[in-house]
């Protein structure tokens, strides 16, 4: 019979109590595909056996619910105000991914009391214990809120298209994170490329500029081609990986998800992700 040493048991316990890996999906330019990437990668990661929750943190124009086909009366603002519990605003989708819907207009929840802030943090921290991956779909740009979510995450996936404006804006986000001394991993996902070669070239250009001018290593997450099936799926309020499970974009998204799932979990940001975020906001 195999014996288990105390050290092995301790390692096992540590592995089981591991906090979720927090992945922020960000971009400089709007409309590059962050919400679609967040939703579809979440489903692919769930298919790889991860427990995944997606948080819609695009407080200006929250629309993750549309892509997942969720009709929700309640969202984060109801939870923050204390009218609904976390369970009541967290929707389990048929793919197994849980979704926390965002809201439009942050003004409605600013200035909460210390007591309420502690309640929010304590409750949200339970997400870190109950999931392997927390994907945060942010809004475009380098606003305070977006940067706060990225700064508190373990890994920021910057999404760009091959357009020079989108590339420059992605570089600007990376620069802003570097100035703030972000210690997580940053990687680039090129979306809406016309070929894999074009996508790789975009990565080469942005990563070379990052290394040369700001001395930062930008990792490569992958390339997704422009594919009209993405918007056809959105029109049906379905993520493309569910609507077209056998198409090339679904295969590419699975490859990206597999790559992301192999990145070792950093032990720094995950534990206090929600504490940092909530304290920055209120
Ligand atoms: N690979 C793709 N091929 C074709 N169209 C795509 C692709 N990815 C996203 N789109 C389309 O681009 C548009 C913007 O996508 P999405 O809403 O995911 O971007 P976003 O970065 O989240 O935008 P915002 O900055 O407004 O939050 C949508 O119409 C979507 O269908
Ligand atoms: Mg979006």
Tell me what the mean pLDDT of segment 38-42 comes to.
98
CB 38 within 8 A of CB 134: no
Between CA 269 and CA 272 the distance in angstroms is 6
Tell me whether residue 183 is in a domain. yes
* Ligand 1 pocket, residues with Cβ under 6 angstroms: 27, 30-36, 58, 61, 139-140, 191-192, 224, 226-227, 230-231, 234
110-130 confidence digits (pLDDT tens): 566 777 778 888 888 888 889
**pTM recorded for the entire structure:** 0.90
Tell me whether residue 41 is in a domain. yes
All residues with CB under 5 Å from ion ligand 2 = 34-35
Tell me whether residue 12 is in a domain. no
Nearest atom within ligand 1 for CA of residue 249: 1
Tell me what the mean pLDDT of segment 154-173 comes to.
97
Site to substitute for ligand 1 among 24, 25, 31, 162, most atoms within 8 A of C-beta? 31
Give me the half-sphere count of Cα atoms (radius 13 Å) on the Cβ side of residue 239.
Answer: 26
Tokens 């679904």, residue located:
250
Rounded to 5 degrees, what are φ and ψ at 155? -145, 125
Question: What is the CATH classification number for the domain harbouring 71?
Answer: 3.40.50.300
Tell me whether residue 213 is in a domain. yes
* pLDDT bucket at 43, cuts 50 / 70 / 90: very high
Tokens 């971009």, residue located:
27
36, pLDDT greater than 80? yes
Number of folded domains in the chain? 1
Structural domain boundaries enclosing 150 = 20-281
């Amino acid at each position: 019979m195999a014996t288990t040493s105390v050290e092995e048991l301790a390692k096992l316990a540590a592995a089981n109590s591991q906090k979720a890996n927090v992945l922020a999906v960000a971009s400089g330019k709007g409309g590059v595909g962050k919400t679609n990437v967040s939703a579809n990668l979440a489903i692919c990661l769930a298919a790889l056996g991860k427990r995944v929750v997606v948080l819609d943190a695009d407080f200006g124009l929250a629309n993750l619910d549309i892509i997942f086909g969720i009709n929700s009366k309640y969202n984060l603002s109801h939870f923050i105000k204390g009218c609904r519990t976390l369970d009541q605003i967290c929707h389990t989708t048929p793919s197994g991914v849980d979704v926390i819907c965002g809201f439009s207009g942050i003004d409605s929840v600013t200035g909460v009391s210390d007591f309420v802030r502690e309640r929010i943090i304590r409750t949200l921290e339970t997400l870190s214990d109950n999931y392997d991956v927390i994907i945060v779909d942010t809004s475009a740009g380098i606003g305070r809120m977006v940067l706060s979510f990225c700064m508190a995450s373990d890994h920021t996936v910057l999404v760009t298209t091959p357009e020079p404006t989108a590339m420059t804006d992605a570089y600007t986000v990376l620069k802003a994170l570097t100035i703030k001394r972000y210690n997580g991993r940053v990687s680039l996902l090129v979306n809406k490329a016309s070929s894999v070669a074009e996508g790789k070239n975009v990565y080469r250009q942005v990563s070379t500029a990052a290394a040369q001018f700001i001395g930062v290593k930008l990792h490569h997450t992958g390339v997704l081609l422009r594919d009209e099936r993405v918007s056809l799926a959105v029109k049906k309020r379905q993520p493309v990986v569910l609507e077209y499970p056998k198409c090339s974009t679904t295969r590419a998204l699975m490859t990206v998800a597999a790559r992301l799932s192999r990145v070792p979990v950093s032990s720094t940001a995950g534990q206090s992700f929600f504490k940092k975020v909530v304290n920055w906001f209120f």
